[in-house]
Amino acid sequence: MTTDIQERFYQPEQGVYLLNHSVGCLPRSASDAFVNHFLEPWKQQGSNAWGQWLDNLTRFNGALANLLNGETQQFCPQTNLSSALTKIVGSLPLPPAGHHILLSERDFPSMGFVIQTLCQRFGLKPRFIPHEADLTDLNCWDDMLSDDTWLAFITHVQSNDSLRLPVAEITELTHRKSVISVVDIAQSAGVVPIDLKTWQADFVIGSSVKWLCGGPGSGYLWASDHIIEHCQPMDVGWFSHQNPMEFDIHHFDYGEDAGRFAGGTPSIMPFTVSAESIRTLDGIGTEAIFQHNQKLINRIIAQIRQGEIRSPLQEDRRGGTLAISFKNNQKAMAAMNNASIVCDQRSEGLRFSPHIYNTEEDADQLVEVINRL
Ligand SMILES: Cc1ncc(COP(=O)(O)O)c(C=O)c1O
């Protein structure tokens, strides 16, 4: 039997889908929105579709603002987090040479590639919080944030083990030490409640492809009101202009809000889908999604007799994924494939991520496969 909420999503036909930390399932409403808000205006109006197409970007920003408690104009659509981070760092007045960017060895590798490349280019240094450090310990952040820290990169929920960081407390420290903060919400947006007004970060970057069920290509950045006027993005274009329709090649002024990060003619398709996906998830409510997700994770943890849990046991330190390491992870992965349990394998073992459309039966099927290992 399917519930009303399950009916709202297309789920892969076979097996138990627990790969929501990678790609969330397509909401039916988002599929319809793509046709109605992108393809139909194009078919019927040609170039005159631009009005409606641009409305889709405003819907996207507005959906994020509602979900994360921000303001629509503080968001700017981006292709992915790597690109957003590159643009943010490149837009800021640089500190003296030798200053560093703080990040953790447990951050998503792509973020490290960006930071190290930019450090090389701008005469800065990356400083890594070692893998074994406890990232939830504020003393650790306090020790690592020194006078020559320029920017701190903070991943809200770690992708390998789903450890959740106390972002508001960390950004309180960065403020006190006048360090710029950039928070990665790729693994938390849509499954863990987020309140940007409480966080008081300088920047937040994320994507829609995972828990937000919005598909690839619809990332975003959020910039706080007090920092935006200091940002001078290098990657500009007429949509970064205060008045995109001015068309005076000798005059360029940055737009007033986060739109200055837009660049040239914007991409519309992925954001048309994800605007509707985010609205659908927000309609269900992130708190309800989180409670459901944690209930299923706890149900799995309570029943399994094999494997070492690598994700935190406490809900207030955990995101939406359960990582379990088995004696032989490859063998465990083969067993999952055989049983059509859709999951993946990373450094902390196998990752299982139940979303709002997963059921207790899904959790029990996984437990059965684990206990048979
Ligand atoms: C924590 C985290 N950050 C970032 C990314 C992806 O970055 P990008 O959007 O640049 O591919 C992922 C993808 O799995 C992730 O888990």
Of 218, 247, 282, which one is at a domain's C-terminal end? 282
Same domain? 104 vs 83: yes
Residue nearest ligand 1's atom 16 by CA: 159
Q: How far does the centroid of ligand 1 lie from the alpha carbon of residue 161, in Å?
A: 14
Is residue 14 a part of any domain in this protein? Answer: no
pLDDT beneath 50, residues of the chain: 1
Pocket of ligand 1 (CB under 6 A): 80-82, 108, 110-111, 155, 159, 184, 186-187, 207, 219
Q: Give the ligand 1 atom nearest the CA of 82.
A: 10
d(CA 328, ligand 1 centre) in Å: 27
- How many angstroms does the Cα of residue 81 sit away from the middle of ligand 1? 6
- What was the pLDDT predicted at 71? 98
Is residue 1 a part of any domain in this protein?
A: no
| Test site for ligand 1: of 108, 191, 218, most ligand atoms within 8 A of the Cβ | 108
CATH at 163: 3.40.640.10
Distance 84 CA to ligand 1 centre (A): 11
CA of 249 to the centre of ligand 1 (A): 36
d(CA 73, CA 258): 6
pLDDT of residue 2: 60
Token pair 């599929």 in the structure block, residue: 31
Render pLDDT for 200-250 as a digit per residue (tens, 0 to 9).
999 999 999 999 999 999 999 999 999 999 999 999 999 999 999 999 999
Nearest ligand 1 atom to the CA of 85 is 10
Range of the domain at 349: 286-372
Out of 87, 105, 117, 184, mutate this one to test ligand 1's pocket (max ligand atoms within 8 Å of CB): namely: 184
Query: Tokens standing for 19?
Result: 């790969």
The encoded tokens of residue 86 equal 């590159």
Which SS3 state, helix, strand or coil, does residue 263 take? coil
CB atoms under 10 Å from CB of 229, counted, come to 12
Residue at 89 is within a domain:
yes
Going by the DSSP 8-state scheme, the letter that residue 315 receives in this structure is G
| Strand-pair partners of 205 | 184, 221
User: Which of 207, 210, 211, 274 maximizes ligand 1 atoms within 8 Å of its Cβ, making it the mutation to test the pocket?
Assistant: 207
Q: What is the CATH number of the domain that holds 349?
A: 3.90.1150.10
CB within 8 Å of 128: residues ≥ 6 apart:
103, 104, 105
Q: Are residues 185 and 321 in the same domain?
A: no
217 and 234, same domain (yes or no): yes
Contact 244, 55 (CB under 8 A): no
Q: Considering only CA atoms, which residue is closest to atom 7 of ligand 1?
A: 81
Number of compact structural domains in the chain: 2
Q: Does residue 2 fall inside a structural domain?
A: no
Does residue 232 share a domain with residue 340? no
- From 23, 81, 191, 205, the mutation candidate for ligand 1 (largest count of ligand atoms within 8 A of CB) is 81
Domain shared by 268 and 327, yes or no = no
One domain for residues 303 and 353: yes
Cα distance between residue 131 and residue 135, in whole Å: 9
- The answer to whether residues 272 and 351 belong to one domain is no
Q: Give me the torsion for CA of 138, 140, 198, 81, rounded to 10°.
A: -160
Q: Which of 229, 254, 282 is the last residue of a domain?
A: 282
Neighbours of 35 (CB within 10 A): 11
Kindly state whether residue 297 falls inside one of the protein's structural domains: yes
Last residue of a domain, one of 215, 247, 282: 282
Contact 215, 26 (CB under 8 A): yes
Is 161 a member of any domain?
A: yes
Distance 103 CA to ligand 1 centre (A): 14
Q: Based on the domain organization, do 138 and 111 belong to the same domain?
A: yes
In this predicted model, what pLDDT tens digit does every residue of 273-331 receive, in sequence order?
999 999 999 999 999 999 999 999 999 999 999 999 999 999 999 999 999 999 999 99
Residue 80 CA: which ligand 1 atom is closest?
9
Ligand 1: centre distance to CA 88 (Å)? 16
Domain match, 319 and 239 both: no
pLDDT at 1: 46
Tell me the CA–centroid distance for residue 108 and ligand 1, in Å: 6
Residues 67, 175 within the same domain = yes
